[in-house]
Amino acid sequence: MLRAAGNSNATYVGSQAQAEIYWEIDRHLVLIANYTHFFTGQFLRETGASRDIDYATTWITVRF
């Protein structure tokens, strides 16, 4: 993301918290689930539209 600073002197973009579950079901199959929340910082709030973001993913790995 590129965003012009405009009149802002802020440098804090934000913070991210993350949780992950790793489950090895058996020797051939792994399930991973991930949840992330991004907390917007002062710079993003001062330079345009900003909001916190939630992101969730899941994936399965199969080994042969």
Mean pLDDT across the chain, nearest whole number? 92
In the predicted model, is pLDDT for residue 2 greater than 80? no
Judge whether 36 and 58 are in contact, CB under 8 Å.
Answer: no
Starting from the edge strand earliest in sequence, which strands make up the sheet with 29-40, in order? Answer: 14-26, 29-40, 53-62
Its pTM stands at: 0.73
Judge whether 38 and 13 are in contact, CB under 8 Å.
Answer: no
CB neighbourhood size of 51 (10 A): 8
What integer pLDDT is reported at residue 50 of this predicted model?
Answer: 85
**Could you report the per-residue pLDDT of 13-37, keeping only the tens digit for each?**
899 999 999 999 999 999 999 999 9
pLDDT band per the 50, 70, 90 thresholds, residue 1: low
